A = this chain, B = another copy of it.
Amino acid sequence: MTTAESPAPITAYEGSCSAVGDGRAVRDVLARVGDKWTLLVVATLRGGRLRFSELQRHIPGISQRMLTLTLRQLERDGLVSRTVHAEVPPRVEYELTDLGGTLLQLSIALGDWAIENRARIEAARAEYDAR
């Protein structure tokens, strides 16, 4: 799920069936959404706006650096808005945009799928590994 790429052609699925669109678009989305923290940040913002330190507290394990990078990407893509309040000490709040809200729906679907099928997947793994 690397971000910086694709001189490659990748014309997968054009025409053949529109179910998933072209591979480039799907990969772009996955590159954004499939990294280690993005969906977790989006999910954490589902309750409304939070400031930087609150986000960090609610996402155990995320480093300051990765939270910053993830938020910058989300902001750049118009999925999250960033509001700086002119105060001392500084207060910066992040909030999902409307577009980010639609992504949230997907992340919930993905999360639900994860919960529902986790046991099945782990059973399959155990069986596979048993050989």
**A residues adjacent to B (C-beta < 8 A):** 1-4, 6-13, 16-21, 23, 25-30, 33-36, 39-40, 43-44, 46-48, 50, 54, 57-61, 75-79, 99, 102-103, 106-115, 117-118, 120-121, 123-125, 127-129
Copies per complex? Answer: 2
Q: Provided the pairs A111-B19, A123-B78 are in contact, do residues A26 and B39 lie with their beta carbons within 8 angstroms?
A: yes
B36 touches A2 (CB 8 A): yes
Contact A11 B58 (CB under 8 A): yes
Chain B contacts of A44 at CB under 8 A? Answer: 10, 12-13
Q: 14 A-B residue contacts at CB 8 Å?
A: A1-B35, A8-B47, A9-B60, A20-B43, A25-B111, A26-B107, A30-B36, A30-B110, A78-B124, A78-B125, A99-B117, A99-B124, A102-B113, A102-B117
Complex formed: what's the CA distance from A48 to B16 in Å? 13
- Set of chain B residues within 8 Å of A4, measured between Cβ atoms: 47-48
